[in-house]
Amino acid sequence: MPRIPRALLLALVGLALSAARPAPAGAATTVRVAAGLSRPLYATAPAGDPRLFIVEQRGTVRVLARGQLLAALFLDIDSLVIDTAGSDERGLLGLTFHPAYPDSPYCYVNYVRVVGSANETVIARYRTAAGDPDRADHTSARILLVIPQPYTNHKGGNLAFGPDGYLYVGMGDGGSGGDPQDRAQNGLELLGKMLRLDVDRAAPVLAYAIPPDNPFVGDPAFRAEIWSSGLRNPYRWSFDRDSGDLWIADVGQNLWEEIDYQPAASRGGENWGWRLMEGLHCYNPPSACGSDTLDLPIHEYDHGGGRCSITGGFVYRGDSIPALQGAYFFADFCSNQIWTLRRAGGVATEVVDRTAELAPGGGLALGAVAGFGEDGFGELYVVDRGSGTNGEIYKIVAAATEVIPPPAGPLGLALGPAVPDPFIAVTRFGVRLERAGRLDVRILDAAGRRVATLASGPRDPGDYSFAWDGRGRDGRAAPPGVYLLRVALDGGVLTRTLHLAR
């Protein structure tokens, strides 16, 4: 990506920091949707899926469905991870679903195990149990990658599929303080890097293939899995589901927290600077660190006011709060402050402190913000890790919005088959409503982005017919591929895949 001169970037970031302001009244707030969790760290869902999957550090994944936490666990690998307490950075750290889920019924996890006295990061795949979409088949585990860890901290933990269909894995520098072995700058180490793997194909020796356009393929000074380097602890990072841009929140050392930005058009190979730099400042060496050759963050903040560890979030792409479309959410774990920012001209703009605005009220409070969550439709959540079994999930909603769970009984909704499917010109399907309510019918792409809206508004009971001609909201023909039909009645949701052949 283009490198902005360091002096100019420092000045621009300084302006962004000085312009940070409280949120305007009435934009958004939070409501609690789950409680009694064991150190939750993250929440996610397949595109178009109405459930929310919650990662608990102890080694379990819970399912929030129709406003309720299911009693049965989706995944339980507690026996594989170390028992965590306090500020331990190990355990189950990440979860993502295959982009073609449920047609490709796989989820992928990132966890830390202890073998003897050695720590290891494990990237593994599980298959959804046959006939039970709310449970993973624990016998289906396939380990894709094991990375030795020299210390107990700085594990990164997030993993996600990019818009290119490849699996990205964020790895911390391995721990201790100051990256004593300089692993983040060592191209033969996977630590301190962003990795990019092809998990749909396998190599003769590995359980994955190397994407042929990875930036260091054929370079003997680098592992071919590396997409970018120079990261300290990219604990939480995300892709913008609309643009495909990558946002990396990299936890700092002693003084500075940073946000790195990689546009979707990047071919990889960025060096984000650690341990040469911490944020926009030389670290080791303390001067003349070669900053002009590095890729600099678009935003940083210092450790004043009790701040100490950035928690990365997501660019908001939901439909509930139009005013926040395109705003990137992030937080600080120690101070529990939450901000949004936007990007313009290569730097952060409109840095807004939303801590007070997002306070849930009613005797509840956000604390220990260890992660954010994004559901299958782009709505966002704040993950409060708590201090044991009192973890909570809060949904970010428009101010003055009351979140009413879908009815616990029958949906009052039926979805007929799409005919034809696959289709070339048009496909048709029927919807039956057994009660009055708000009906929403949408077409989503494989990344969960809205392609077309076929219905949105109140409807009386009855039978309705719909058709999709393969065109998007702009009237242009959508590319061939797999799409998701989502039909919702007052929050109760049915989905079906559609196959546009052209």
Q: Distance (Å, rounded) from C-alpha 66 to C-alpha 306?
A: 37
Q: What is the mean pLDDT of residues 165-188?
A: 98
Distances (CA, A) of 158 to 218, 314, 339, 372: 27, 13, 20, 11
Q: Is the pLDDT of residue 55 over 80?
A: yes
pLDDT for the residue numbered 16: 43
- Residue with structure tokens 């129709």? 66
pLDDT band for position 114 (50/70/90)? very high
Mean pLDDT of the chain: 91
Distances (CA, A) of 285 to 45, 220, 272, 275, 277: 42, 26, 15, 8, 8
Closest Cα to residue 67, out of 490, 498, 497? 490
Q: What is the mean pLDDT of residues 85-91?
A: 89
Which class does domain 413-500 fall in? mainly beta
Q: Is the pLDDT of residue 101 over 60?
A: yes
Q: Is the pLDDT of residue 22 over 70?
A: no
Q: Is the pLDDT of residue 421 over 80?
A: yes
pLDDT for the residue numbered 263: 97
DSSP character at residue 425: S
Q: Tokens standing for 427?
A: 């496909």
What are the start and end residues of each CATH 2.60.40.4070 domain in the chain? 413-500
Q: Is the pLDDT of residue 11 over 50?
A: no
pLDDT for the residue numbered 130: 94
Tell me what percent of the residues of the chain surpass a pLDDT of 90. Answer: 75
Q: pLDDT tens for residues 226-266?
A: 999 999 999 999 999 999 999 999 999 999 999 999 999 99
What are the start and end residues of each CATH 2.120.10.30 domain in the chain? 6-398
Q: Distance (Å, rounded) from C-alpha 146 to C-alpha 141?
A: 14
pLDDT band for position 80 (50/70/90)? very high
Please tell me which residue, 245 or 67, carries the higher pLDDT value: 245
Q: Is the pLDDT of residue 453 over 60?
A: yes
pLDDT for the residue numbered 446: 76
411: left (phi over 0), alpha (psi -120 to 50) or beta: alpha
Q: What is the mean pLDDT of residues 383-401?
A: 91
Q: What is the mean pLDDT of residues 469-495?
A: 88
pLDDT for the residue numbered 401: 57
- Residue with structure tokens 């993250």? 42
393 phi/psi in degrees, rounded to 5:
-120, 130
Closest Cα to residue 427, out of 502, 495, 498? 498
- CA pseudo-torsion sign 368, 370, 376, 379: positive
Q: Distance (Å, rounded) from C-alpha 469 to C-alpha 427?
A: 7
Q: Tokens standing for 45?
A: 């869902």
Q: Is the pLDDT of residue 9 over 50?
A: no
Q: What is the mean pLDDT of residues 296-324?
A: 95
Q: What is the mean pLDDT of residues 127-146?
A: 96
- Residue with structure tokens 């006295």? 117
Q: Distance (Å, rounded) from C-alpha 39 to C-alpha 388?
A: 6
Q: pLDDT tens for residues 141-171?
A: 999 999 999 999 999 999 999 999 999 999 9
Q: Residue 428 carries which side chain, given as an amino acid letter? A: R
Q: What is the mean pLDDT of residues 373-377?
A: 94
Q: Distance (Å, rounded) from C-alpha 255 to C-alpha 251?
A: 10
pLDDT for the residue numbered 378: 92
- CA pseudo-torsion sign 489, 490, 492, 494: positive
Architecture (CATH level 2) of domain 6-398: 6 Propeller (2.120)
345 phi/psi in degrees, rounded to 5:
60, 30
Q: Is the pLDDT of residue 205 over 80?
A: yes
Tell me what percent of the residues of the chain surpass a pLDDT of 70. Answer: 93
SS3 14: helix
